[in-house]
A and B are shown apart, each in its own frame.
Chain A
Amino acid sequence: MVKFLKILPIAIKTGTVTIKYPYQEPLITESFRGAIEIDPNKCVGCGACTRICPPKALTMTIESNTIILKYFVGRCIFCGMCADTCPEKAISITKEFELATGNIFDLYADVEHEVKTCPICGKTFITRKLSDKIISKVPDIPLETMDLCPDCRRKETLKKFIGVPE
């Protein structure tokens, strides 16, 4: 009959559980995943993260002679797939989640990369860093065609092997 009184001792024992949050430490555990951070020194601009990112928070755009890896926190779902995918381990997951801001540009983080331009056709293709990486990783790569875009490289290689029909 008076079982409803039993909540009183529980309440007294528990005390106040509300946290005065902005003035107190937030309750996050050690495995919490927050916003990501891209290390511009490690990033080579391969674009693997932009292809796996489920909400398309990471995008790549080519502007004149730079490739920009754009991270928009506003779309980020904190899944960390990019960090798992990144071959250079340039992306780290932080515990940052207090990201609200009055200025939308605070939500963007850009990594700029110098882009390679094909000396023959003038097309821009991959970043210089990625190209350098490939050169250092792949032994016996024909260095003379590395500066060319994929199309011109194909043509040049063919020329080398079968000669040029003039």
Chain B
Amino acid sequence: MSSAIANSIQLLMEVSSIISKVIEFNEKVFGIEQRNGIVRIKIHRDVLPYVAQKLATTKGIYMRTMMASDERDLEGVYRLYYLFGIDREHINIVLEVAVPQEDPKVPTIVDIIKAADWYELEAHDMLGIEFIDRRLYRLVLPEDWPEKVYPLRKEYSVQDLMKLYRPKAVEYAKEIGAENIVVIPIGPYHPALHEPEFFEVYVSGERVIDAKYVGFMVHRGIEKLGENMKYDQVPFLAERICGICGFVHSTSYCQAVESALNTDVPERAQFIRSIILEIERIHSHLLWFGVALHLLGYDTGFMHSWRIREQVMVLAELLTGSRKTYGINVVGGVRRDIDNDKIRKAIEVLKNVEDEFKKLVEISINIPQVIARLKGTGVLPLGEAIALSLVGPTARGSGLDRDVRRDYPYAAYRYISFRVPTYSEGDNLARTLVRVDEVFESINMLYQLLDKVPSGEIRVESWTVEPYRLGVGSVEAPRGEVIHVLLTGRYSPYRWRVRAPTYQNLPAVSIMLKGVDLADVPLTIASIDPCFSCTDRAIVIDIGRSVIKTIPIEFLSLKGSKAIR
């Protein structure tokens, strides 16, 4: 009880200090309100850079995400929500900037906050908002997307957009008379995780001089799709944002709705969510560990890591009914309960996993080649990590102590004690060790969670929707923090913004890659545990877009046989 009071006092102090910071722009600040740990400050667009500057120069404040939303039906404006977090105080600060529809221009804050770069470009692509004094180019939309069509504007329905877009490949196929021929997309791919993405790596000899990322190739339009689905259907869509850590997205979405609508989730449901989240973290880290060892050529370690992981997958199926995409999250709780029998089995499996993984880590970290190639490669200094607002194990490997589970407690994490492992070296070894430590920490947390599960309901059966309320849900995914920002609508979300951790972490890869040997490039890219499909979730195309160049196979083989002759 006392800690709750202390927290609220701290919160009030923090809020007042922020108000005093913006008071000098009094006439440009329209209102400040505070609810559920979210401080909303409405400001005029002219003062945005000054306020952002104030926030960015304060220690411990970082930009978490930015949501651009089309609110012309409501107030005739576009609105930008800049979300800042204060780790120590568990508060989110939301700067709300209204952008008039007749003149959609906003001053840029990229020169102040590096992390804002992609958010601004995405808002430009999706809603046509102009950012003044910076170079704007297409980041998210494909190059053959029609001009002046902004997919997230409310006048376009999903069906309209699918009709509007005709990939260049189709035109090209017509040109060479290959309309009825199957098009086989070749490249781009990820060197390690086999996802569509593309790095241009400039090398001199075997040493990397520079690296450029070209991404956003698997646009699935999930945010737009979510705007047409009912509240209880969206968790299943959200879960499919990521193929490895889907549960974090559905939890994050549900939390965003619950925070917007002030829904009280039963404690038992909170515990079950935490349990599944930690199981997901263990399987994800074991997967990553295996992939990393595979990239280091130690395939035996890869096989054994995945063998150990298999027990966790089966356990997840026992608890939820599905190996992956567990499908038990709904707004207001969970759909599947756990009983004592399952808890006993879970502890049995976890003991086994802990034991086996300890042995495997000890063996594989001591393989001479593994240690030689992990240590000192792909270094990311702490300064860069702070400047780019990095999250998750990538940040913690560089000594940036940031963990949503501790900083913005959600689900059942406030009832248990745990350690956040950090390493200061910033190299691939540090990031590996952070993940290894986290596996053991997660197992430890699971023992506590499984021991303390309270009895009671697992789901609030009825809840009422109030439109146009802002909700934020953040979850510490295995890769870093996931944030869902949500504006409620009457039957489905009015605007739903997803920020996956890789979106924040990817810009760091080019820094890590500089000076690395070519052979270590795949490992270094993989060391942020990238999830490209999550990052690319934003847009509207569902057709074969994972393509940089599509060549009809007929044409390809023609060319090939000509060359041979």
Contact = CB atoms under 8 A, between A and B. Distances in A.
Interface stretch (B24-32, B85-93, B199-207, B230-238): B230-238
B318 A31 contact: yes
B307 interface: yes
Nearest to A10: B359
A143 interface: no
Contacts of B362: 3, 6
Interface string B283-305: 00000000000000000110010
A135 B335 CA distance: 32
B237 A32 contact: no
Contact of A52 (B233, B319, B321): B233
B302 to A, nearest CB: 12
Contacts of B237: 54
Interface band, chain A: 20 to 34
Contact of A31 (B304, B336, B366): B336
B322 A32 contact: yes
Which among A28, A29, A30 has the highest number of chain B CB atoms within 10 Å? A29
B110 interface: no
A70 interface: no
Interface in B314-342: 314, 317-322, 325, 327, 335-336
Interface string A47-68: 0000111110000000000000
A106 interface: no
B310 interface: yes
Contacts of A53: 233
A17 B237 CA distance: 34
Given A3-B366, A6-B363, A79-B236, A31 B317 contact: yes
A161 interface: no
Interface of A is mostly: loop
Interface string A14-38: 1001000000000111111100000
A84 B367 CA distance: 51
Nearest to B310: A17
B92 to A, nearest CB: 29
Contacts, number: 68
Interface string B231-251: 011001100100000000000
A26 to B, nearest CB: 11
Contacts of A28: 317
Contacts of B230: 51-52
B327 A78 contact: yes
B229 interface: yes
Nearest to B368: A4
A51 B233 CA distance: 10
A17 B363 contact: no
Interface string B348-376: 00000000100110110011100000000
Contacts of A51: 230
A128 B142 CA distance: 51
B548 to A, nearest CB: 29
A7 interface: yes
A29 B317 contact: yes
Contacts of B363: 3-4, 6-7, 10
A6 B320 contact: no
Contacts of A80: 321, 327, 335
Given A4-B367, A10-B304, 6 more contacts: A3-B363, A10-B360, A27-B314, A31-B320, A54-B237, A77-B325
Question: Which 9 residue pairs are nearest across A and B when measured between Cβ atoms?
Answer: A54-B236, A3-B366, A33-B321, A79-B327, A54-B233, A29-B318, A31-B321, A29-B317, A6-B363
